[in-house]
Amino acid sequence: MPRQKTVQPLPIEAFHLEDGTLVEVRDWRTREIGRGQDKKFEAEELDWQVLLGLFDDLMSGCRKREERAATALASNAAMERHLLNGGYEMDERTARRHGKCIREKYTQTRRILGAIEYDSWKVHSAPCQK
């Protein structure tokens, strides 16, 4: 007897951009079901948790924490060292892959927020278009 077809959960919200791209908003309750999707979701969650911790460090006002976060975000190798020395249980290859993904997410987040200039890691946002 064949197994039943997998029914994907509906996203929380879905909308189309001007160029026709479909954007789906999902969380842990509505994530896609399929081979490898659990590991992919867990890896992305880890990346965002590390990045949010680094953002907290950058905005903390504590010079030591700001320097540590700035050093970690400086290069892929520095991010890899940050992950390996930070107590995350992973091998070097996995740390390298996560480091690269975290830095890509950091760059994308900066672009989304409209940050155009960094001076001592303080964000100066782009002027509003009126």
Q: How many CA atoms lie within 13 A of 59 on its CB side?
A: 7
Q: How many CA atoms lie within 13 A of 86 on its CB side?
A: 20
Q: What is the mean pLDDT of residues 98-110?
A: 88
Q: How far is CA 26 from CA 8, 31, 58, 72, 117, in A?
A: 12, 6, 27, 29, 31
Q: Which residue has the tokens 């001076």?
A: 119
Q: Which of 53-57, 71-75, 96-100, 122-126 has the lowest mean pLDDT?
A: 122-126
**CA–CA gap between residue 93 and residue 78 (Å, rounded):** 14
pLDDT of 115 reads: 54
Residue 127 has pLDDT above 60, yes or no: no
Instruction: Tell me the backbone φ, ψ of residue 75, rounded to 5 degrees.
Output: -155, 170
Instruction: Please check whether residue 37 is in contact with residue 31, taking contact to mean a CB–CB distance below 8 angstroms.
Output: yes
Q: What is the mean pLDDT of residues 65-91?
A: 88
| Angle (deg, nearest 10), helices 63-72 and 37-58 | 140
Residue 107 has pLDDT above 80, yes or no: yes
Label the pairing between strands 22-25 and 13-16. Answer: antiparallel
Which residues share a beta bridge with 22?
A: 16
Q: Kindly report the average pLDDT of the chain as a whole number.
A: 82
